[in-house]
Amino acid sequence: MRFLIGGGSGFVGRELMCLLKNKGHEVTVISRQPGPGKITWDELELNGLPHCEGVINLAGENLMNPLRWQVWNEGYKKDLFSSRINTTKSLAQAIAGSPSPPCSWVLVTGVACYKPSLTAEYSEDSKWTPFDLLSKLVKEWEASALLQENMAKTTRQFIIRPGVVLGRDGGAMKQMLLPFWLGLGGTLGSGRQPFPWIHISDLAGIIAHALEHPGDVASSSPQVFNGVAPVLNTNYEFTKELGRIMRRPTILPVPGFFVKALMGSERAMVLTQGQKVIPKRTQESGYHYKYPDLTSALIEIVGD
């Protein structure tokens, strides 16, 4: 099968591309930069959707961009929105305008739509309304992907909401490894907050599973899958397990006010608060996790 991945050059995209190619599929990336195996967003707009069986969007300004780490300002927030919403709209329009629309259209968003809580548990069936900047972003982002009802028969729509994606070559782990190696790793804030996470290989696996099993039921609403591991962990459990596997002390907690001062309170929420997210439909879909628990995931990432 042929797949088109917006933002496929990034952390999740590289893993997904590898998995799809290993399964024998052909992959084209949409990027801001031209290159082999790529088309640009301008080319997509100009020439329409290349023929493919599935489209995925992973593009977006990084929420934890190390180059903009201490610049949490209106320009950054605007980029977070426009980079996601404009690319998603471009893809949805290209799909709608295609003479041979793909069988699947997968948007990857996030669990920031669920309100942080120490007690509430959220499955894909949970109702939610935006309560802060990031949940507003998820609302607008997911809305921008929706196809017209008349597309329901041809194209299955999926939304995958990942927690923190754990992998060796990018994302949160890449930024955490140095402080942990130096023995400076510690719980963030109280440490009691839930820490929804997924191993990168499982996120790629869930996306591939949706692409390869789009299902027979035509629906104008997207199928939502929570992209999190099936176990619930707190930030304390994550910190202690990472320290244990790396054989490093984790005795220095990082106070919540420090994280907020460093990153801005709206962004710090991602680290100092969290949601208990259950991948109910993901498991019902028949997807089998490679790394269902923290120990197996962290050993794969930092074990040697």
**Residues making contact with ligand NDP (CB under 6 A):** 7, 9-13, 31-33, 58-62, 79, 83-84, 87, 108, 110, 162, 164-165, 171-172
Instruction: Output the DSSP codes for 172-240.
Output: HHHHHHHHHHTT----BTTS-SB--EEEHHHHHHHHHHHHH---S---SSPEEEEES-SS--BHHHHHH
Shortest reach from residue 240's CB to ligand NDP, in Å: 21
Q: How far is the CB of 218 from ligand NDP (least distance, A)?
A: 27
d(CA 235, CA 187): 6
Angle between helix axes 74-96 and 133-144 (nearest 10 degrees) is 20
In angstroms, give the least distance from the CB of 212 to ligand NDP. 20
Of 61, 147, 65, 44, residue with least CA distance to 104: 147
Query: Whole-number minimum distance, CB 66 to ligand NDP, in Å?
Result: 10
Which tokens in the block code for residue 182?
């130096």
What torsion do the CA atoms of 122, 116, 135, 171 make, to the nearest 10 degrees? Answer: -90
Cα→Cα distances 7→22, 25, 41, 74, 98, Å: 19, 18, 10, 23, 20
Closer Cβ to ligand NDP, 18 or 252, answer by number? 18
Q: Is the CB of 156 or the CB of 199 nearer to ligand NDP?
A: 199
Least distance CB 214 / ligand NDP (angstroms): 20
- Return the number of the residue (123 or 154) whose C-beta is nearest ligand NDP: 123
Q: Which residue is nearest to ligand NDP (CB)?
A: 10
Beta-sheet strands, E only, within the chain: 2-6, 26-31, 38-40, 54-57, 104-108, 121-122, 156-162, 164-166, 197-199, 223-227, 276-277
Amino acid code (one letter) for 223: Q
Nearer to ligand NDP, 152 or 281 (CB): 281
Least CB distance to ligand NDP at residue 15 (A): 8
Which amino acid type is present at position 67?
A: L
Among residues 32 and 244, whose Cβ is nearest to ligand NDP?
32
Nearer to ligand NDP, 57 or 187 (CB): 57
CB of 127 to ligand NDP, least distance (A): 21
CB-nearer residue toward ligand NDP: 20 or 165: 165
User: Quick one: how many helices (H) and strands (E) in the chain?
Assistant: 11, 11
